[in-house]
Amino acid sequence: MSANLVDAHFVMKKYFFTKKRIKSYLALGLALLMPSVAFSALPAMVRVSLFQAHAPVQELVVQGPFQLATSTPRTLGKGRYTLRMAQHQLLLCGPEPSRYCLRSQRFLLIPANGEKSVSLGLPNQPQRLYSGRLEFSMKSNHALRIINALPTRDYVALVVGSETPSGWPMEALKAQAVLTQTRLFRYQPGDALDDTTQQEVYLGERHRRPEVVQAVTSVWDEILTIQGHPVTPFYHASCAGHTSGAEIFGQHHRLPGMTGVPCAGCRLAPFGKPTLHRIPAKTYADVFPPGLPKVTQRDQAGRPLLVQFSNGSTQSGYAFWLAVGQRLGWDKAPGLYFSWRSTTDGQILFESRGAGHGVGLCQYGAAALARQHRSYQDILNTYFPGAKTAKINMP
């Protein structure tokens, strides 16, 4: 695969920010209204809640060997183990033919026999590899809680590897790492991060790549700031030629350094050309108010800021885009730069460009700038005008 293309999984799996993710990032942006803060160290360790895209998780498959981290450590050998709940307890059951089961309210697993990771996955799904410590317990809704505790530096490298494809240029990887470190600046030790696009994608050790580790090492003590504060680190896959400001999330969202900018580099990227999808008008009518909404306001990039329904009610263009994705499928409009109309054959035609909300750093645009020998500082300043990198103490 060429360096400037990624597979469909990379393009489609992410960049559709939920309201939870937007609210958390906008809360981070409110720090810009507070006095300047001293840039202290990031925590040495982070905790990540795994398999959130598949919640609630009822059963997991663990491949041995691994070690049970208890007062008397116990190493379990090779084989396929299952972890599930029964009678308000966790059951860790061994491989055939014995199928012995260990019972506990909580299990702690770490790699064993010189291995660097533990293989873990959902039944009938590809296994993932996780380093650090795996903590298993029960949620109140009788689902499994799976937490991965690992060094912050490893987490940053694995997030950057999960969020980018193989062959991504070095300076774009550095820019991505700085944004991840910026987000972690407000991380509260003990909290559990999400492993999906609600925060940042984290898929484990299979996404550790030498060039990513090199990129993280080179910018390990840097975050991105504006007016003496960490920026709100939005990013997306492809803006289709122009990014948008934070006002795309609602009329009252204004963040310093978060303005729309031209971006020529992503026009040749996947989703640079229009994506067209038709759905039956009845399918649309089953989940939305009667009649198609009209766009009453667009931003400078052409993304809808406000739409109005036939009953007079209004909604932000971002909220309508989210609803289309959640109710009709994210493939109908991969990018927030989208429009819709009725056709003569009783269908609704959705047309979109780009992938994602279009705010902050455009990943394909950043890669294009990196290939033009632009530095990661130049790339970050392009998408966050007026922002600068700042040194912090790192663990």
User: How far from the centroid of its chain's Cα atoms is residue 277's Cα?
Assistant: 25
Helix (H) or strand (E) holding 371: helix 363-371
Q: Is 217 helix (H, G, I), strand (E, B) or coil?
A: helix
Query: Tens of pLDDT along 208-251?
Result: 999 999 999 999 999 999 988 899 899 999 999 999 998 898 75
> Domain spans of the chain?
8-47+152-265+357-391, 58-142, 275-353
State residue 3's pLDDT score.
32
State residue 395's pLDDT score.
65
State residue 17's pLDDT score.
43
The beta-strand segments (E) located in 23-180 are: 45-49, 59-68, 74-86, 89-93, 101-104, 107-111, 118-121, 128-130, 133-138, 144-151
State residue 267's pLDDT score.
78
Cα distance between residue 382 and residue 27, in whole Å: 23
The angle, 0 to 180 degrees and rounded to 10, between the axes of the packed helices 376-383 and 363-371 is: 140
State residue 394's pLDDT score.
67
Query: Tens of pLDDT along 96-136?
Result: 777 789 999 999 999 998 899 999 999 999 999 999 999 99
Cα distance between residue 270 and residue 11, in whole Å: 8
State residue 4's pLDDT score.
31
What DSSP state is assigned to residue 248?
A: G
Helix (H) or strand (E) holding 152: helix 152-163
* The pTM of the whole model exceeds 0.85: yes
What DSSP state is assigned to residue 338?
A: E
Two tokens, residue 145: 């809680």
User: How far from the centroid of its chain's Cα atoms is residue 90's Cα?
Assistant: 29
State residue 108's pLDDT score.
96
The upper half-sphere exposure of residue 59, i.e. CA atoms within 13 Å in the direction of its Cβ, equals 9
State residue 257's pLDDT score.
65
The CA dihedral of 184, 188, 190, 196, to the nearest 10 degrees, is -40
State residue 11's pLDDT score.
39
44 phi, psi to nearest 5 deg:
-70, -30
Cα distance between residue 171 and residue 147, in whole Å: 31
Per residue of the chain (395 residues), give pLDDT as tens.
Answer: 223 333 333 434 444 444 444 544 544 444 444 334 455 678 899 999 999 999 899 999 999 999 998 878 899 999 999 999 988 899 999 987 777 899 999 999 999 988 999 999 999 999 999 999 999 999 877 899 999 999 999 999 999 999 999 999 999 999 999 999 999 988 888 899 999 988 899 999 999 999 999 999 999 999 999 988 899 899 999 999 999 998 898 755 566 667 899 998 887 788 888 999 999 999 999 999 888 999 999 999 999 999 999 989 999 999 999 999 999 998 999 999 999 999 999 999 999 999 999 999 999 999 999 999 999 999 999 999 999 999 987 66
User: How far from the centroid of its chain's Cα atoms is residue 387's Cα?
Assistant: 22
